[in-house]
Amino acid sequence: MTGFFTGLGTAMITPFKQDGSINFESFGKMIEYQIANGTDMLLVLGTTGEPPTMTEDEKADLMEFTVKQVRGRAKVVFGCGSNNTVHAIDGAVLAEQAGADGLLAVTPYYNKCTQRGIVEYYKAICAATKLPVIAYNVPPRTGVNILPATAEALADIPNMAGIKEACGNMEQICETMRRVRGKMDVYSGDDNLNLPILAIGGAALISVVSNIAPAECKKVYEYVMAGDLKRANELEDRLLPLIDACFTEVNPIPVKYGCTKIGLDAGLPRPPLTELEEEHKKIMDAALESAGIKKVW
């Protein structure tokens, strides 16, 4: 299927208090910041949200809170992927019951299944829900890569809405786009490749950096859609140091620091992730200044 969403999706961080519990007050402010700046979709409990460190009760509470806070003003997508297909199905059912508009399912990680195993995994998830499902391809983190021929097979599943591409290989992404064009959408899942993925027909951005700079990321999308590549490149050039700063350490360590610097209380990541190193804080501080990102409050 195509057309589930276009524009900007933000892979939301999960803010934690000093005692380690979810900071729902801060998360509500983050949601309002996104909606006020034109974000079209909020992805909650994706990799950036640290779901591996959260209990099932915490995930359910965050889903319920998100749906109530958003109130239909943007699409809400919940992450449900797992290296256990049964667990992924349970997450999909829970998300649908919570009122999600769609699901994001990362490839099975660590198990390193075959390409046929990937197809069977997504078939099982899609059969368990009526919601649109987005596959998430991020082999640097999972050890599993959705190859173009496999993406083409996934596109035949009726409620497979698209693939969030973060493989980092534009040659592969171009071939995937060729094979699935008109059957399911491709979304940029790598902020460094937002422009080229949009240029070959990407339907939307699913961004980490937009936690900090949603308005700017949305403008990049709008400029490309309007055919104004000059302005798109000028803005992307300004954002690139910030994008690089957001990945000096494993996501979401840097972006949580960046959010806190602009007035969004993100707290610290949960273990085993750690606080951003001092040398990388300086890089983020400089990037925020060069990108012209102002404090939210």
Question: Rounded CA gap, 13 and 33, in Å?
Answer: 13
Counted residue by residue, the chain has a size of 297
Question: Rounded CA gap, 162 and 263, in Å?
Answer: 34
List C-alpha distances in Å: 209 to 37, 119, 214, 244.
13, 30, 8, 9
3-state SS, one letter per residue, for the chain:
CCCCCCEEEEECCCCECCCCCECHHHHHHHHHHHHHCCCCEEEECCHHHCHHHCCHHHHHHHHHHHHHHHCCCCEEEEECCCCCHHHHHHHHHHHHHHCCCEEEEECCCCCCCCHHHHHHHHHHHHHCCCCCEEEEECHHHHCCCCCHHHHHHHCCCCCEEEEEECCCCHHHHHHHHHHHCCCCEEEECCHHHHHHHHHCCCCEEEECHHHCCHHHHHHHHHHHHCCCHHHHHHHHHHHHHHHHHCCCCCCCHHHHHHHHHCCCCCCCCCCCCCCCCHHHHHHHHHHHHHHCCCCCC
Going by C-beta distance under 8 Å and a sequence separation of 6 or more, which residues neighbour residue 259? 13, 15, 30, 211, 212, 265, 266
Q: Which residues are catalytic?
A: 136, 164
